[in-house]
Amino acid sequence: MLQNQKADLFRSYHHSTKIFILPNAWDVPTAKLFENVGFRAVATTSAGMMVALGYEDGEYIPRQEYIASVARIAKVLTVPLSVDLVSGFGRNAKGVADTVKAVADVGAVGVNIEDFEHTSKKLFSIEEQVEKIKAIKKLTPNIFVNARTDALRFASGDEEERFKEALKRGEAYRDAGADCLYPMGLVDKEKIARYVDSIKFPVNIMLRKGIPSIKELEELHVARLSFGPSAAYAVIGFLKIASRQILEKYDYSMMLENAIDYEELNSLAKKTFNKGR
């Protein structure tokens, strides 16, 4: 499939009566595993990916190193790939658009862009974020933009005021050309219903404790359920428990139960090196 065809297919998944479930990988084998078990597309998780590369979540990793890691993942996939770009690795709208173009050039058809700065935990102004989305769409018109707002966490005011700010930002990002809205921290069933009904646009909810069931989210007309870093949390959590079991109880059963074998592990990579080298 051509990249534009993948982008159109990815976009179509957000306009269905059936909820689109999007897993977030952090390296080549997890991305390929998600494809192999049957997910229709794969995304990256910035937290899982950056920590795997030795950096804290945020934009501490050099931009080119991050893009190179995205390129490795894109090479092994046949399904559409969306990339979590944090705030876009750019000081201004042009810088963010250039980053999006760079990941599109290595195979991504979608991006996730946040509206807050990790170091300060402050929201960018609506005007700044709108300018970024417009710049992205001007430079890479067919890229899918999942516009995340962290107003529910970092806006001023009480819970209701933060909700209204998240809705206001969602409307602005929608009108600027975003393809899906991601109100980070939206968990309550009633508030999810309010947001979806008010915005009348594809909405992304992240998998986390406290959210409604997948069936309920579908009934609320949520377009997309993404894993976020939950799969990375689960895998690291499993290794933590299994390792303690070995050290404290001399019991390795948990480590071996449901494990894949060498052949399957090796199959999750792509043969990219010359045999003669």
Residue 171 pLDDT class (50, 70, 90 cuts): very high
Mean pLDDT of the chain: 96
Is 151 a member of any domain? yes
Beta strands in 167-248 (DSSP E): 180-183, 204-206, 224-226
What CATH number is attached to the domain comprising 101? 3.20.20.60
pLDDT score at 213: 98
Its pTM stands at 0.95
C-alpha angle 180-201-136 in degrees, rounded to nearest 5: 35
Could you tell me if residue 274 is inside a domain? Answer: no
Dump pLDDT digits (tens) for 77-125. 999 999 999 999 999 999 999 999 999 999 999 999 999 999 999 999 9
pLDDT at 277 over 60: no
Note the Cα 221 to chain centre separation in Å: 20
Q: Is 103 domain-assigned?
A: yes
Identity at 10, one-letter amino acid code = F
Q: Output phi, psi for 69, to 5 deg.
A: -70, -40
Tell me the residue range of the domain where 148 lies: 3-228
Question: How many domains does the chain contain in total?
Answer: 1
Sign of CA pseudo-dihedral 140, 177, 192, 186: positive
Instruction: Please provide residue 203's backbone torsions phi and psi, each rounded to the nearest 5 degrees.
Output: -125, 140
The verdict on residue 181 lying in a domain is yes
**Residue 273 domain-assigned (yes or no):** no
pLDDT, one tens digit per residue, over 183-207 is: 999 999 999 999 999 999 999 999 9
**Cα(209)–Cα(228) distance, integer angstroms:** 12
Instruction: Give the contacts of 4 (CB within 8 A, at least 6 positions apart).
Output: 142
111 domain-assigned: yes
Please name which of 95, 81, 83, 84 lies closest in space to residue 136, comparing C-alpha atoms.
95
Instruction: Tell me if 275 is assigned to some domain.
Output: no
Q: How confident is residue 1, by pLDDT bands cut at 50, 70 and 90?
A: confident
Helices (H), 87-150: 93-105, 126-139
pLDDT at 271: 65
Q: pLDDT tens digits for 209-233?
A: 999 999 999 999 999 999 999 999 9
For the chain, list the strands marked E by DSSP. Answer: 20-22, 24-25, 42-44, 81-84, 110-113, 116-117, 122-123, 144-149, 180-183, 204-206, 224-226
% of the chain residues with pLDDT over 70: 97
In a domain, 244, yes or no: no
Q: What is the mean pLDDT of residues 13-32?
A: 98
The whole-angstrom separation of Cα 44 and Cα 50 is 10
CA–CA separation, 22 and 214 (whole Å): 12
